């Protein structure tokens, strides 16, 4: 195994530890709640 392979493997491990793919990640597993959900899709943007 060369140094490049070690660095590449370490980078992959770092990336997977930074990305939370569990059910706690609200961006990946969004669900509309009765309380606490704010819809911003119909808001007008003023310049």
Q: Extract the tokens encoding 32.
A: 């509309």
User: pLDDT of 1-47, one tens digit each?
Assistant: 688 889 999 888 888 887 787 888 877 788 888 888 888 888 888 87
C-alpha distances in Å from residue 36, one per residue of 12, 30, 31: 35, 12, 11
Report the distance separating Cα 14 and Cα 44, nearest Å: 39
Q: Give the pLDDT score at 1.
A: 65
Q: Give the pLDDT score at 33.
A: 82
The answer to whether 28 touches 21, Cβ cutoff 8 Å, is: yes
Q: Give the pLDDT score at 30.
A: 83
Q: Give the pLDDT score at 26.
A: 79
**Three-state SS sequence of 10-38:** HHHHHHHHHCCCCCCCCCCCCCCCCCCCC
């Amino acid at each position: 195994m060369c140094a490049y392979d070690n660095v590449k493997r370490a980078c992959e491990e770092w990336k997977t530890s930074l990305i939370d793919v569990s059910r706690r990640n609200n961006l990946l597993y969004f669900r509309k709640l009765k309380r606490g959900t704010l819809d911003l899709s119909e808001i007008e943007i003023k310049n």
